[in-house]
Structure 1
Amino acid sequence: MKTRRVGSLTCGALLIIFGVLFMVHMFVPALKYEFIIKFWPVILIALGVEMLLSCRNKEEGIKLKYDGAAIFLTILLGFFAMGMGVLQYCVENFPVCI
């Protein structure tokens, strides 16, 4: 019986998506951090979709194992990415005079 880890696919896909969005911002400043940060619910939606689709696989005789580390890492990295975006926004718009 095959074992499928639920959460790994979502973790990888979201790392790529948010990484690309932040990298695009470096070259296209018109893509604002506020716009990227508003996509945080995509993390929860993607995890939910993967879990629902994995239930279908369970009926086909595939054993499921939730990858708690990947799910935790996805959420943690999402918050880290949002925090870095907020930090850079603050540095760009509220310069500290020395």
Structure 2
Amino acid sequence: MRQRRIGTITLGISLVVFGILFLIHIFGGVLNYMLIFHLWPLILIVLGGEILYYSFFAPEKSGTYDFAAVVILIMIVFFAMCMAGADMVFSHMPKDAFDKWW
């Protein structure tokens, strides 16, 4: 029997959803970063749903936690938040801020 790795689906869904949200912000300008930052609990909800599904609704499918996927997910979310923060800083910085350094 194939062993299911819990966390893999959450990683995939999180990458797709947050990637789409950041693209909407970049190209559409409809969403702001604060709204996207406030959606981070969705990752925990999806991961909890995946754990509950494999624990209660599909007990015949054995599963182990995909520790690497969860760590990668945390690293990617942290990196995306840092890049969005840097974009916010650079977009709100005065245009002549770097003239003093050069």
Normalised TM-score (structure 1) = 0.89
CA contact (8 A) 2:24 2:30 kept: no
Task: Give 1:58-77 correspondences, 5 Å limit.
Answer: 59-60=59-60, 62-77=61-76
* RMSD of aligned residue pairs (Cα, Å): 1.2
Q: Given the alignment of the two structures, is residue 88 of structure 1 paired with residue 87 of structure 2, yes or no?
A: yes
Pairwise CA distance, 1:42: 1.1
Larger gyration radius, structure 1 or structure 2: 2
What are the superposed Cα offsets for residues 22-61 of structure 1, whole Å, 9 maximum, x if unpaired? 111111123111111111111111111111111122x22x
Pairwise CA distance, 1:97: 3.4
CA distance in structure 2 between the partners assigned to 1:71 and 1:3 by the alignment: 17
Q: How many residues are treated as equivalent by the alignment?
A: 96
- Unaligned runs of 5+ residues in structure 1 are none
Match of 2:20 in 1: 20
Normalised TM-score (structure 2) = 0.86
CA distance in structure 1 between the partners assigned to 2:30 and 2:89 by the alignment: 17
CA distance in structure 2 between the partners assigned to 1:24 and 1:30 by the alignment: 7
Q: Alignment identity in percent?
A: 39
CA distance in structure 1 between the partners assigned to 2:62 and 2:27 by the alignment: 44
What are the superposed Cα offsets for residues 59-89 of structure 1, whole Å, 9 maximum, x if unpaired? 22x2111100001111111111111111101
* Code of the aligned partner of 2:91: E
Match of 2:78 in 1: 79
Pairwise CA distance, 1:2: 2.6
Higher relative contact order, structure no. (Cα contacts within 8 Å, ≥ 6 residues apart): 1
DSSP-derived class of the 1:5 partner: strand
